[in-house]
Amino acid sequence: MRLTWIAVRRDRTTISHSTTITYDELLQTELGYDALRRFAQRIVAVGADPADYVYLPVHPWQWEHKTSITFAADIAQRHIIQLGSSDDEYQPQQSIRTFFNRSEPSRHYVKTALSVLNMGFMRGLSPTYMAATPAINDWVYRLVENDLVLKRYGFSVLREIAAAGYHNRYYESATEKTSPYRKMLSALWRESPVPALEPGERLATMASLLHVDRHGASLAAALIRASGLAPADWFRAYIDVYLIPLLHSFYAYELVFMPHGENLILVLRNSVPTRVIMKDIAEEIAVLSPATPLPPDAERVRAEVPDDEKLLSIFTDVFDCIFRFLSPLLDREGLLAPAEFWSVVASAVRDYQAATPELASAFAKYDIFAPSFALSCLNRLQLKNNQQMVDLTDVAGSLQFVGTLDNPLVTEAAG
């Protein structure tokens, strides 16, 4: 498909970008001279000055069903001018509203506002919220690139390097700050992983590891068999590049990501995960320590979370939400029994801790080998409010806990 492009009044638009690029430079790279000239001619044709406008990509469905109707007054006043489609063809990714450029894969991902209810949220993008997005990404990128442990494991992030969002003054004067009406017309640009690929490397969403085909066979098992490695060796390679960087980010900085399958890109060589790339940075990270220094523009990612809930970023998000489903798939296909699965995880964690003695006090304070952890009931959040699972200004306060789960690093690995 092709994206719809519009021109929006510069004085009604929030633009933000990384320190490494300007928004105009980005558009020149992404659109090219011919498209930019065509868009400018369209603005002149309706009697307006291109210098007064900013170009913004829109999901075609959003334009047809939402923007052209809900923003009709702004369109009539030429605060918004439809420009047509760009030349490149895009493919929606698993997250529906983030697009991969099929014509020029090295160009950036484009993420657009989409006013549909999906997984507990209306999938809009707030212009106000995104104003700090590039600054947050720049900070995370610098931290990751300068950390020797993370570099050793090949961990990297895809930066969201620019964002733009239109402010509809009618809705902003009539609604609360969190209203979906304020999040209907924005977009951001995220780096593509393709330029960083080495010869022989290929990409896969980590969510695909849990895919099971109509014959009951999992992709994870297929990759293990194709690699020629012993199952435990393949799984250890995966744990080293996925879990260990998450642990180090937590123990070294109390920086936590949202490490679900759709947010992780696996880099495979000969069917073996050799490194991972994290995406969706600004909206889905948190810094849980008051001691970790943050630039002023990134301060909003700091969160107050009780000490006994901090490690749930691993226990819940990785053990309960990923490994709990992966382990039975490998067991069913005769590759790794649960005890061996969790023994590999435990060994990788112990090896990391032994190699990082400077963090011993953090390992003791937040014990990943604790016998149990609180059961965070994610489904209950959607049942309670399927339009907003959690309050994004107080995620920790929104969680619901019922009882505990045995820690499989203790129970399964020991068994």
Residue 336 lies in a domain: yes
Residue 410 lies in a domain: no
Tokens of 76: 């009539």
Quick one: 156 and 265 in the same domain? Answer: no
Quick one: 210 and 182 in the same domain? Answer: no
Listed in sequence order, the residues at least 6 apart from 257 whose beta carbon sits closer than 8 Å to its beta carbon are 246, 249, 263, 278, 281, 284, 285, 313
Nearest C-alpha neighbor of 403 from the set 384, 364, 370, 375: 375
Residue 180 lies in a domain: yes
Quick one: 261 and 154 in the same domain? Answer: no
Residue 382 lies in a domain: no
Quick one: 186 and 302 in the same domain? Answer: no
| CATH number of the domain where residue 273 is located | 1.10.510.40
Quick one: 181 and 271 in the same domain? Answer: no
Quick one: 258 and 157 in the same domain? Answer: no
Quick one: 212 and 129 in the same domain? Answer: no
* Confidence at residue 316, expressed as pLDDT on a 0 to 100 scale: 94
Burial of 158 from C-beta contacts in 10 A (0-12 / 13-18 / 19+): buried
Task: Report d(CA 407, CA 34) in Å as an integer.
Answer: 58
Count of alpha carbons within 13 angstroms of residue 101, beta-carbon side: 21
Q: Facing residues of 111 across strands?
A: 98, 188
Dihedral sign for Cα 333, 212, 95, 302, please. negative
Quick one: 230 and 185 in the same domain? Answer: no
Task: Report d(CA 8, CA 360) in Å as an integer.
Answer: 53
Task: Report d(CA 217, CA 122) in Å as an integer.
Answer: 34
Quick one: 130 and 228 in the same domain? Answer: no
Task: Report d(CA 108, CA 85) in Å as an integer.
Answer: 17
Query: Under a CB-based contact definition with an 8 Å cutoff, are residues 125 and 165 in contact?
Result: yes
Residue 372 lies in a domain: no
Task: Report d(CA 85, CA 113) in Å as an integer.
Answer: 17
Alpha-carbon dihedral 49, 53, 54, 59, rounded to 10 degrees = -100
Nearest C-alpha neighbor of 188 from the set 79, 114, 260: 114
Residue 150 lies in a domain: yes
Q: Which of 193, 219, 252 is the last residue of a domain?
A: 193
Count up the domains in the chain and report the number: 2
The answer to whether the predicted template modeling score (pTM) of the entire model surpasses 0.85 is yes
Query: Under a CB-based contact definition with an 8 Å cutoff, are residues 329 and 396 in contact?
Result: no
pLDDT digits (tens), the chain, 415 positions: 999 999 999 999 999 999 999 999 999 999 999 999 999 999 999 999 999 999 999 999 999 999 999 999 999 999 999 999 989 999 999 888 999 999 999 999 999 999 998 776 778 899 998 999 999 999 999 999 999 999 999 999 999 999 999 999 999 999 998 888 999 999 999 999 999 999 999 999 999 999 999 999 999 999 999 999 999 999 999 999 999 999 999 999 999 999 999 999 999 999 999 999 999 998 889 999 999 999 999 999 999 999 999 999 999 999 999 999 999 999 999 999 999 999 999 999 999 999 999 999 999 999 999 999 999 888 888 888 777 776 666 666 777 888 999 999 998 876 5
Quick one: 291 and 172 in the same domain? Answer: no
* Confidence at residue 358, expressed as pLDDT on a 0 to 100 scale: 97
Q: Which long-range contacts (CB under 8 A, 24 or more apart) does 195-202 make?
A: 195/106, 196/156, 196/277, 197/267, 200/269, 200/270, 201/267, 201/268, 201/269, 201/274, 202/267, 202/268, 202/269
**DSSP letter string, 373-385:** EEEE-HHHHHHH-
Q: Which of 135, 163, 193 is the last residue of a domain?
A: 193
What angle do helix axes 231-253 and 338-355 make, rounded to 10 degrees?
A: 40
Residue 373 lies in a domain: no
Q: Which of 149, 167, 193 is the last residue of a domain?
A: 193
Quick one: 187 and 204 in the same domain? Answer: no
Dihedral sign for Cα 278, 282, 285, 289, please. positive
SS3 (DSSP) at 328: helix
Burial of 381 from C-beta contacts in 10 A (0-12 / 13-18 / 19+): middle
Domain ranges, residue 324? 197-367
* Confidence at residue 367, expressed as pLDDT on a 0 to 100 scale: 97
Quick one: 79 and 189 in the same domain? Answer: yes
Residue 409 lies in a domain: no
